[in-house]
């Protein structure tokens, strides 16, 4: 097993883990920054991804970064009808309608305007207060009003007419909300007459009044995935649930009444109820208990706020309409981003665009806002320590060896800032310069990169200033010149070389000789920022992507939008402890993994300050925290957080703990811990330990996970300084005579609590193996302070004990386990025979059937192979054979135990190998029987391989890979020439998506030869956002927008090459490649051979 470790440098945040995947710190939008009003009525998300906020003073639309506000203009008939906007609704045809206090309007997306829809009551034009809307399953749009009953929109959408019979059946003209359930019954809430269940087929209704409900003012109605109906009651009725069998309502849980509920929603986990309470914040009902919804809001008192509306958008972000406060956004992202800026209730920095971020040796964060001086913020508390007015905007800062801060300003030159007194002293010799970058050389000189004036070297001790200028004519470079006067950034590498990012590319200055050395591969583009990687690679942020230049070989690689970057303008580059590169851009940030080329992107929806960042506004702290500044504030995060990793693994166990009356708790360390762990495997250790703890802890018991550090002088290095994770339970403990064998593979101990076997056998063995690969130890002992036992894991701190191979950076984009049922059943997998288990990440390379009656081994094989293959499990040979003979597709390979009830593995193999339609399927037999005679019997049955338990997992994986590869070669050999174009993913268009796909294909076909065809340009021409384009193409074609464009180009290229009418260079240009060499690389990646070989008719796969 190739084992790669990643540094988890820990900065702890004491937070309660919510039932959502988010540990995010949210943002509050208020009238002080972007919102039109704090009096929130309604929040919704449309089909294009925009979020609409209806308030008592205007309508707001946002993409998560900024707001567009629509106000009523008496002189503009196409403006919104009233500033008091009550609700917004989009029907299935994507028509967007807005309900105001005085009528109904439709939003014209093409013209960004509003069209009034007249409403009639018995032929008379009325202007009612529109409270809500709903499109029924039959396509009718109904409108609920306060004071005029229910209206229906005509099929042509031109007018709405009151439904007298419906309103009469409801028994009230004051309608607040409507919901159509899965049985096509309409639930209608009223302002003062309770709840009504309307039957459209018969036109009759069943009313539920105060004698059957805890209140009459119905504020919201919702339904969960199981068809359960819930209603929120404003007059202190709380939330009630409908009992369909008894046709009655009861409180949704104990103590659920007494709350003035404004809104009700089903949480993203599908099993919890959220209720917005007027004056008591957001509550969650889960497992018959009610509690405050856990949100990380240090500056916002959500618990005592008037939450009036709840929206969980398509990305599972949580939006709250807080009356008299604004809109609170809690992003849902497994990755935690912290925010500092104008959207905080207590903003420690200014409201202008952030131009510079720097962290000093005292852990103080220095932030410069445009035309607003310097802010000094204490990073631990987030509180502003000082605001230092400046006569010019600060663009760069650097700390010298004496702890003094030097500031480069726009037009004010160089300034010395005293942290102790906040006194600012400007350097006269550099007055008037625009300094975009600062660095300090080995002699203590301040190097200042300026815009238009070259580079200055200032000696603080002598006051001497030296200037380096660009070549102004045809002369050669000398000691006092640089390649360009317009310098955006400066960096000194570990060898003392000075690198400059200029408007004409990158050059290098040797401080010892003063010689300027142009870097030819990096010229001809605007360079903004510079960074040095751990291996000496120079990373350059340009307007054409990120360049990675090797000074030793001269090799230069460009990573751009074509490679997955969110934008080509690179503003900042930071390398983390795992050698990943974090990049800020004009459209979000990205993590680039050099070892794999993988790019992971994040945008405003993930909790960033916004999508647009400022070039040069970035830094990283000694503990690894990254800061990026942008137009709306500062985003900070730690690339890896071991505490959050532990919390992520524990989170899915919380529901199981509640359901089984077990108290699960976490005791974090509260200190900074550097520890190197493999992100893709270490969570398996903790998950196995937790799984075992739950298996033998009875109801009423406790399970505790603690994280700490320690020193053991008696231990052999590197475990004399360690990180410790302890999983403790109050179960029955382990018999002393069994403790020494508990980690043996397949060893089982009887559990008298659950009458099942304690230990997953393989699970604990796997946990020990993974801990040992971390150079750690795992031990178990019975508790001395009560019943139960403790598993103690220790891994070394630091990285001195690791080899170079172990320090290699993996692609850590690996999801933490989210379905705990796979670990808590006796098998470790919640299996339904014959149903494929989900693959975790990679596209499956084949379909494998597992026939095994031992649940532990079945679970282990499924876990180990599930990331690579689609796994289908059966408990005996008869079930497996029936599936092979009757279901499609047939498996690509079968793994079978020999000793099974019903039909053994030998019989199963013989029948598989005798079937004319199944004899090609490879079979691997597993057995504890290891004699030569038994192995011979297994192979004679037709098995392709026979493995003895306990087997080596890596040997099993290699055996599978070899057997499948052999099958593939036979298929290629006997099926004739294989069409390599089949590697291009085909598109299956759903009927309702045909219009969109026709638009997309029209643009792609028209511009396929243009190198400028990109995701952004395609989205713009189709008329939807970039995010929405990606989402829709993913839904329709299972491809990202970038892959979709690439595959279309490749298919066109293949066709042109087969026709042999154009040269390879001409084909490259005809399919939108500006560089023929890039075309050749891309073509070979898709088709497996070069364009030249493909054009020649050689479409065989190349063996490398």
- Please provide the DSSP assignment of 663-685 as one string: EEEEE---S--EEEE-TTTHHHH
Q: How confident is the model at residue 483 (pLDDT cuts 50, 70, 90)?
A: low
Q: How confident is the model at residue 755 (pLDDT cuts 50, 70, 90)?
A: very low
Report the CATH number at residue 415. Answer: 2.130.10.10
My answer on whether 651 and 788 are in the same domain is yes
Of the chain, the percentage scoring pLDDT greater than 90 comes to: 43
| 679: pLDDT strictly greater than 80 | no
| 318: pLDDT strictly greater than 50 | yes
Averaged pLDDT for residues 333-362: 81
Q: Give the pLDDT confidence score for residue 169 in this predicted structure.
A: 94
Q: Give the pLDDT confidence score for residue 759 in this predicted structure.
A: 36
Q: Give the pLDDT confidence score for residue 295 in this predicted structure.
A: 78
My answer on whether 719 and 752 are in the same domain is yes
369 occurs within a structural domain:
no
Of 491, 524, 557, the last residue of a domain is 524
Q: In terms of DSSP H, where are the helices of 660-755?
A: 682-695
My answer on whether 657 and 751 are in the same domain is yes
Do the Cβ atoms of 135 and 92 come closer than 8 Å?
yes
User: What SS3 class is residue 498?
Assistant: strand
43 vs 62: CA distance, rounded Å: 11
558 vs 234: CA distance, rounded Å: 58
- Residue 318 or 832, more confident: 318
Do the Cβ atoms of 230 and 241 come closer than 8 Å?
yes
809 occurs within a structural domain:
no
1038 occurs within a structural domain:
yes
Q: Give the pLDDT confidence score for residue 644 in this predicted structure.
A: 65
Averaged pLDDT for residues 604-626: 87
Averaged pLDDT for residues 253-268: 91
Averaged pLDDT for residues 775-794: 92
| 810: pLDDT strictly greater than 60 | no
| 813: pLDDT strictly greater than 50 | no
The number of C-alpha atoms within 13 Å of 1092 and in the hemisphere containing its C-beta is 5
Average model confidence (pLDDT) for the chain? 82
Of 330, 345, 380, the last residue of a domain is 330
Span of 212-216, 233-237, 340-344 with lowest mean pLDDT: 340-344
Averaged pLDDT for residues 672-690: 72
Averaged pLDDT for residues 64-87: 92
Report the CATH number at residue 984. Answer: 1.10.10.60
Averaged pLDDT for residues 880-908: 87
Q: How confident is the model at residue 513 (pLDDT cuts 50, 70, 90)?
A: low
Averaged pLDDT for residues 88-116: 96
R_g over Cα of the chain: 33
| 133: pLDDT strictly greater than 90 | yes
My answer on whether 985 and 942 are in the same domain is no
Q: Give the pLDDT confidence score for residue 112 in this predicted structure.
A: 93
Centre a 10 Å sphere on the Cβ of residue 123 and count the other Cβ atoms it contains: 7
The number of C-alpha atoms within 13 Å of 59 and in the hemisphere containing its C-beta is 29
Q: Give the pLDDT confidence score for residue 673 in this predicted structure.
A: 62
| 758: pLDDT strictly greater than 70 | no
H/E segment holding residue 334: none
196 occurs within a structural domain:
no
Report the CATH number at residue 699. Answer: 3.30.565.10
Counted residue by residue, the chain has a size of: 1104
My answer on whether 305 and 428 are in the same domain is no
Q: How confident is the model at residue 812 (pLDDT cuts 50, 70, 90)?
A: very low
472 occurs within a structural domain:
yes
My answer on whether 1026 and 1085 are in the same domain is yes
Do the Cβ atoms of 99 and 143 come closer than 8 Å?
yes
Q: pLDDT digit string (tens) for 584-604?
A: 999 999 999 888 788 888 888
Domain holding 265, by residue range, is 219-330
843 occurs within a structural domain:
yes
Averaged pLDDT for residues 485-514: 86
**Burial 942-974, CB ≥16 within 10 A → b, else e:** bbbbbbeeebebeebeebbeebbeebeeeeeee
Q: What is the DSSP string of 581-624?
A: EEEEEBTEEEEEETTTTEEEEE-GGGT-S-S-EEEEEEEE-TT-
My answer on whether 775 and 659 are in the same domain is yes
Of 304, 330, 356, the last residue of a domain is 330
CA angle 358, 361, 366 (to 5 degrees): 25
| 814: pLDDT strictly greater than 80 | no
903 vs 532: CA distance, rounded Å: 63
Q: pLDDT digit string (tens) for 423-473?
A: 999 999 999 999 999 999 989 999 999 998 989 999 999 999 998 876 543
| 1074: pLDDT strictly greater than 80 | no
> Token match 């193409």: residue?
1033
116 vs 356: CA distance, rounded Å: 48
Q: How confident is the model at residue 505 (pLDDT cuts 50, 70, 90)?
A: very high
Query: 780: which strand partners?
Result: 791
Q: How confident is the model at residue 11 (pLDDT cuts 50, 70, 90)?
A: very low
My answer on whether 750 and 869 are in the same domain is no
- Residue 692 or 845, more confident: 692
| 95: pLDDT strictly greater than 90 | yes
Q: pLDDT digit string (tens) for 403-412?
A: 999 999 999 9
My answer on whether 984 and 938 are in the same domain is no
My answer on whether 964 and 1015 are in the same domain is no
User: What SS3 class is residue 913?
Assistant: helix
816 vs 649: CA distance, rounded Å: 6
Q: Give the pLDDT confidence score for residue 1019 in this predicted structure.
A: 81
| 816: pLDDT strictly greater than 50 | no
Q: How confident is the model at residue 1102 (pLDDT cuts 50, 70, 90)?
A: very low
Tokens of 266: 């089903």
| 343: pLDDT strictly greater than 50 | yes
Of the chain, the percentage scoring pLDDT greater than 70 comes to: 82
637 occurs within a structural domain:
no
Q: Specify the number of domains making up the chain.
A: 5
- Residue 1081 or 741, more confident: 741
Averaged pLDDT for residues 809-835: 36
My answer on whether 959 and 989 are in the same domain is no
- Residue 736 or 4, more confident: 736
Q: How confident is the model at residue 720 (pLDDT cuts 50, 70, 90)?
A: confident
Span of 231-235, 804-808, 892-896 with lowest mean pLDDT: 804-808
1 occurs within a structural domain:
no
My answer on whether 288 and 424 are in the same domain is no
Q: pLDDT digit string (tens) for 115-131?
A: 999 999 999 999 999 99
Q: How confident is the model at residue 919 (pLDDT cuts 50, 70, 90)?
A: confident
Q: Give the pLDDT confidence score for residue 493 in this predicted structure.
A: 92
Chain center to CA of 5: 22
């Amino acid at each position: 097993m190739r084992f790669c470790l990643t540094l988890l440098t820990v900065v702890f945040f004491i937070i309660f883990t919510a039932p959502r995947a988010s540990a995010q710190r949210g943002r509050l939008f208020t009238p002080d920054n972007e919102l039109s009003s704090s009096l929130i009525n309604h929040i919704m998300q449309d089909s294009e991804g925009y979020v609409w906020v209806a308030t008592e003073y205007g309508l707001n639309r946002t993409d998560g970064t900024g707001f567009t506000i629509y106000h009523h203009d008496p002189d503009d008939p196409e403006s919104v009808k009233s500033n008091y906007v009550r609700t917004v609704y989009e029907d299935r045809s994507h028509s967007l309608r807005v309900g105001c206090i005085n009528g109904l309007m439709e939003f014209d997306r093409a013209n960004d305007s509003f069209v009034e829809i007249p409403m009639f009551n018995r032929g008379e034009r009325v202007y009612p207060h529109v409270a809500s809307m709903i499109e029924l399953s039959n396509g009718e749009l109904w409108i609920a009003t306060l004071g005029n009953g229910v209206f229906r929109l005509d099929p042509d959408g031109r007018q709405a007419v009151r439904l007298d019979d419906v309103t009469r059946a409801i028994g009230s003209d004051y309608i607040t909300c409507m919901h159509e359930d899965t049985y096509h019954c309409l639930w209608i809430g009223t302002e003062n007459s309770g709840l009504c269940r309307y039957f459209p087929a018969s036109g009759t209704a069943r009313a539920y009044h105060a004698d059957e409900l805890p209140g009459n003012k119905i504020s919201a109605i919702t339904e969960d995935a199981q068809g359960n109906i819930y209603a929120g009651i404003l007059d202190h009725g709380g939330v009630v649930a409908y009992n369909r069998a008894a046709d009655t309502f009861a409180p949704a849980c104990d103590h659920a009444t007494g709350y003035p509920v404004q809104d009700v929603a089903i949480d993203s986990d599908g099993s919890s109820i959220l209720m917005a309470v007027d004056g008591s914040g957001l509550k969650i009902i889960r497992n018959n208990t009610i509690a405050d919804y856990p949100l990380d809001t240090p500056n916002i008192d959500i618990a005592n706020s008037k939450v009036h509306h709840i929206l969980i958008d398509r990305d599972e972000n949580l939006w709250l309409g807080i009356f008299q406060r604004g809109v609170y956004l809690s992003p849902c992202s497994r990755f935690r981003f912290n925010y500092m800026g104008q959207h905080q209730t207590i903003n420690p920095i200014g409201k202008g665009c952030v131009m510079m971020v720097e962290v000093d040796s005292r852990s103080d964060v220095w932030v410069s806002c445009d035309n607003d001086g310097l802010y000094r913020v204490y990073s631990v508390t987030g509180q502003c320590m000082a605001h230092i007015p400046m006569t010019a905007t600060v663009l760069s800062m650097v700390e010298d060896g004496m702890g003094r801060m030097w500031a480069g300003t726009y037009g004010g030159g160089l300034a010395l800032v005293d942290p102790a007194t906040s006194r600012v002293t400007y350097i006269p010799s550099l007055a008037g310069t625009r300094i975009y970058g600062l660095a300090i050389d080995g002699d203590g000189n301040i190097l200042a990169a300026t815009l238009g004036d070259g580079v200055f070297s200032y000696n603080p001790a002598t006051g001497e200033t030296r200037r380096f200028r660009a070549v102004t004519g045809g002369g050669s470079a000398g000691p006092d010149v640089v390649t360009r006067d317009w310098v955006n950034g400066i960096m000194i590498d570990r060898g003392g070389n000075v690198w400059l990012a200029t408007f004409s590319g990158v050059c290098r200055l040797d401080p010892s000789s003063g010689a300027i050395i142009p870097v030819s591969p990096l010229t001809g583009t605007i360079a903004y920022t510079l960074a040095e990687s751990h291996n000496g690679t120079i990373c350059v942020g340009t307007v054409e992507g990120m360049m990675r230049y090797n000074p030793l070989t001269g090799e230069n690689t460009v990573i751009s939008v074509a490679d997955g970057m969110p934008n080509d303008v690179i503003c900042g580059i930071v390398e983390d402890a795992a050698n990943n590169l974090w990049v800020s851009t004009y459209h979000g940030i990205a993590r680039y993994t050099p070892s794999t080329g993988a790019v992971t992107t994040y945008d405003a929806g993930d909790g960033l300050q916004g999508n647009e960042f400022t070039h040069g506004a970035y830094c990283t702290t000694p503990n690894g925290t990254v800061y990026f500044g942008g137009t709306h504030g500062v985003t900070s995060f730690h690339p890896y957080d071991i505490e959050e990793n532990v919390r992520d693994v524990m989170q899915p166990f919380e529901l199981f703990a509640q359901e089984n009356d077990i108290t699960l708790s976490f005791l974090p360390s509260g200190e900074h811990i550097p520890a190197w762990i493999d992100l893709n495997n270490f969570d398996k250790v903790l998950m196995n330990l937790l799984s075992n703890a739950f298996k033998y802890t009875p109801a009423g018991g406790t399970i505790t996970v603690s994280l700490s550090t320690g020193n053991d002088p008696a231990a052999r290095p590197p475990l004399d300084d360690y990180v410790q994770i302890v999983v403790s339970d109050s179960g029955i403990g382990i018999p002393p005579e069994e403790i020494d064998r508990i980690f043996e593979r397949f060893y089982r101990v009887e559990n008298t609590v659950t009458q099942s076997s304690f230990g997953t056998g393989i699970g604990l063995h796997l946990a020990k193996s993974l801990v040992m690969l971390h150079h750690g130890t795992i031990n178990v002992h019975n508790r001395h302070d009560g019943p139960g036992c403790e598993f103690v894991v220790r891994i070394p701190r630091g990285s001195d004990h690791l080899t170079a191979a172990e320090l290699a950076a993996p692609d850590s984009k690996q999801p933490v386990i989210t379905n705990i049922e796979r670990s808590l059943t006796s098998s470790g997998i919640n299996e339904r025979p014959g149903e494929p288990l989900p693959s975790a990440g990679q596209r499956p390379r084949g379909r494998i059937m597992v026939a095994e009656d031992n649940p532990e081994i079945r679970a282990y094989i499924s876990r180990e192979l599930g990331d690579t293959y689609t796994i289908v499990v059966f408990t005996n040979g008869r079930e497996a054979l029936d599936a092979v003979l009757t279901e499609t597709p047939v498996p690509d390979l079968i793994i079978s135990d020999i000793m099974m009830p019903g039909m053994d593995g030998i019989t199963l193999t013989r029948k598989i190998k005798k079937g004319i339609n199944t004899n090609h399927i490879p079979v691997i037999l597993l057995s504890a029987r290891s004699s030569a005679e038994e192995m011979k019997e297994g192979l004679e049955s037709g098995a392709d391989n026979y493995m003895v338990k306990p087997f080596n997992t890596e040997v099993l994986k290699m055996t599978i890979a070899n057997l499948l590869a052999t099958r593939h070669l036979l298929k290629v050999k006997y099926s004739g020439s294989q069409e390599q174009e089949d590697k291009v993913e085909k598109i299956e268009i759903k009927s309702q998506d045909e219009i969109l796909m026709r638009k997309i294909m029209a643009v792609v076909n028209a511009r396929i030869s243009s190198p400028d065809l990109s995701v952004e340009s395609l989205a713009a021409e189709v008329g939807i956002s970039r995010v929405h384009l990606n989402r829709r193409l993913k839904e329709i074609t299972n491809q990202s927008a970038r892959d979709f464009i690439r595959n279309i180009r490749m298919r066109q290229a293949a066709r042109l090459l087969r026709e042999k009418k154009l040269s390879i260079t001409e084909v490259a240009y005809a399919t939108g490649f500006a560089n023929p060499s890039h075309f050749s690389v891309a073509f070979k990646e898709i088709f497996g051979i070069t364009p030249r070989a493909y054009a020649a008719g050689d479409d065989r796969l190349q063996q490398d």
